[in-house]
């Protein structure tokens, strides 16, 4: 398959619905492309509105890292512009380091081609926001070592 310009590093896409590789119930999901590996595979996150931040930790937009409890996430404050086009998540949104995954690009595109999903472009993270997300995840021991290596390249 030809490379798809929507799937570039820092891109936030919206799948309606997202079809989970593990067979989970499809539902609308945001998708954040962290790295593109050889136009074949993506290292990405499925940002979530589920708040797993321990109550003793203050939530401030950006990296939340607590080594003493092996906790890492990147927190997006609602309505804070994070993309060059003015996009902001409408509600509190989290990227958890331990939940990063790889996805095959051709599988995602095939789902769109066969009308199983619609993929909407939301925007590309600003350079500063993208760098902050990558720095947060690539320095965290709660992220798989192989993923930290890819992120720091």
Residue-level pLDDT at 41: 83
- H, E, C per residue of 34-57: EEEECCCEEEEECCECCCCCCCCC
State pLDDT tens for residues 30-39: 999 999 988 7
Task: Indicate the pTM of the whole model.
Answer: 0.92
Percent of the chain exceeding pLDDT 90 equals 84
Residue-level pLDDT at 1: 45
3-state secondary structure of 120: strand
Residue-level pLDDT at 4: 81
Kind plus residue range of the DSSP H or E element containing 62: strand 62-66
Mean pLDDT of 49-55: 95
Residue-level pLDDT at 25: 92
Residue 3 — very low, low, confident or very high, per pLDDT cuts 50/70/90?
low
| Mean of the per-residue pLDDT values of the chain | 93
**Which comes out higher in pLDDT, residue 85 or 23?**
85
Mean pLDDT of 110-129: 95
Which structure tokens are listed for 3? Answer: 């490379």
Report whether pLDDT(126) > 80.
Answer: yes
Report whether pLDDT(21) > 50.
Answer: yes
Mean pLDDT of 128-150: 94
3-state secondary structure of 128: helix
Rounded CA-CA distance 32/58 in Å is 24
């Amino acid at each position: 398959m030809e490379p798809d310009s929507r799937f570039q590093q820092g891109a936030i896409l919206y799948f309606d619905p997202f079809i989970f590789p593990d067979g989970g119930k499809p539902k609308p999901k945001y998708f954040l492309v962290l790295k593109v590996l050889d136009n074949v595979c993506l290292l990405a996150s499925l940002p979530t509105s589920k708040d797993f931040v321990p109550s003793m930790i203050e939530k401030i937009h950006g990296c939340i890292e607590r080594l003493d409890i092996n906790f890492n996430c990147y927190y997006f404050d609602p309505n804070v512009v994070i993309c060059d086009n003015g996009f902001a998540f409408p509600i509190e949104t989290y990227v958890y380091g331990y939940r990063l995954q790889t996805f095959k690009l051709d599988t995602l595109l095939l789902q769109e081609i066969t009308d199983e999903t619609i993929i909407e472009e939301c925007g590309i993270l600003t350079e500063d926001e993208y760098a902050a997300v990558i720095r947060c995840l690539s320095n965290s021991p709660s992220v798989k070592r192989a993923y930290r290596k890819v992120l720091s390249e």
